[in-house]
Amino acid sequence: MFRRLDQSLIVLLGLVSSLATAHTVITYPGWRGDNLVNNGTLENGEIPTGALGINYENGSYTFPFGMQWMYPCGGMPTSTNRTRWPVRGGAVSVQPGWFAGHKNAFFYINLGLGTEPLNYSLPMLPVFQIIGPSNEMYAGEFCLPQVPLPENVEVNVGDNATIQIIETAQHGAALYNCVDITFAEPEDVAEVTEENCHNSTDAGKEIDFSLVFATTSLESAAPALSIGMSVAMLPVIAAVMFGFLA
Ligand SMILES: *[C@@H]1O[C@H](CO)[C@@H](O)[C@H](O)[C@H]1NC(C)=O
Ligand SMILES: *[C@@H]1O[C@H](CO)[C@@H](O)[C@H](O)[C@H]1NC(C)=O
Ligand SMILES: *[C@@H]1O[C@H](CO)[C@@H](O)[C@H](O)[C@H]1NC(C)=O
Ligand SMILES: *[C@@H]1O[C@H](CO)[C@@H](O)[C@H](O)[C@H]1NC(C)=O
Ligand SMILES: *[C@@H]1O[C@H](CO)[C@@H](O)[C@H](O)[C@H]1NC(C)=O
Ligand SMILES: *[C@@H]1O[C@H](CO)[C@@H](O)[C@H](O)[C@H]1NC(C)=O
């Protein structure tokens, strides 16, 4: 189960102890905090009998199946170290392969409005699929330089919100991860660089994209996902699964 990844990446992220159980990392614009925890398993690797997924024992929480499975934000409370993010939309970068089982995955990027969002029901992009280099853990990341605001949502500089990123693994289970933001003018936002936001192309890290839904969603997905898209559209089966066929 333990697999060694790229040393430089380990150093970069300082996640040495969490590697074996990691899921997604939001490289840009950050995240609420490290929710890659999945301790709570027994020393022999088994799940304790009757484990609820989240257990509270001797004054601390443990997550024998992993923390990121918990709606809405992978078990992390709202943070106060908010990231300034552009008021008309901006970059999002994710490392999707921090656990086995993510060769194919669906991604949802949603917005929750306010300092303590009541819900995360505002999609910023139509769901899209990634195709990773392998079904084992992999180190690649992807970068969407211009994720728009949800349709019909207008925000002002200084407003708070939370970006929620969901990755459903190929077996359908959903990982949750969030970053708390404050909307700002683009010039007041941390610069997006090749370092904090890029599409990995190195062998073993390359991630391909694919649209999921039928023609109606192609247009709205186009601005953020069009460049270099390999439109191997996930066909009918996905549409049926999500109830998009009449
Ligand atoms: C906020 O603080 C937590 C805890 O120190 C840290 O793990 C996280 O990366 C920070 N998030 C941002 C967006 O700076
Ligand atoms: C679980 O892991 C987290 C971080 O990896 C750590 O802070 C916590 O103390 C651990 N809990 C137990 C009971 O080992
Ligand atoms: C909690 O404390 C009890 C009694 O001291 C101990 O037997 C048990 O192993 C502890 N559990 C954890 C997860 O540390
Ligand atoms: C945004 O959130 C911060 C805490 O992270 C809070 O201090 C501030 O008042 C909030 N701003 C608004 C406009 O609610
Ligand atoms: C979601 O939250 C917003 C406020 O952020 C509220 O206006 C809207 O009614 C909520 N939607 C649902 C379905 O609860
Ligand atoms: C990464 O690839 C996606 C999909 O092809 C594309 O929309 C995006 O612009 C690329 N990111 C960068 C930084 O070029």
218-229: per-residue pLDDT in tens? 455 545 554 333
| Separation of CA 150 and ligand 4 centre (Å) | 21
Atom in ligand 6 nearest the alpha carbon of residue 199:
1
Atom in ligand 4 nearest the alpha carbon of residue 80:
5
33-80: per-residue pLDDT in tens? 988 887 888 889 888 888 888 888 889 889 998 899 999 999 999 999
Dist CA 123 CA 109 (whole Å): 6
Q: Which residues pair with 181 in a beta bridge?
A: 83, 161
Average pLDDT over residues 112-117: 98
60 in contact with ligand 2, CB cutoff 6 A: yes
Average pLDDT over residues 111-139: 93
Atom in ligand 3 nearest the alpha carbon of residue 55:
13
- Per-residue model confidence (pLDDT) at position 21: 37
pTM beyond 0.85, yes or no: no
Domain-by-domain residue ranges, the chain? 7-34+79-241
Query: What DSSP string describes 44-96?
Result: TSPPPTT--SSEEETTEEE-TT-STTSTTTTTPPPPSSPEEEETT-EEEEEE-
Ligand 1 contacts (CB < 6 A) are 30-31, 33-34, 79, 81, 83, 179
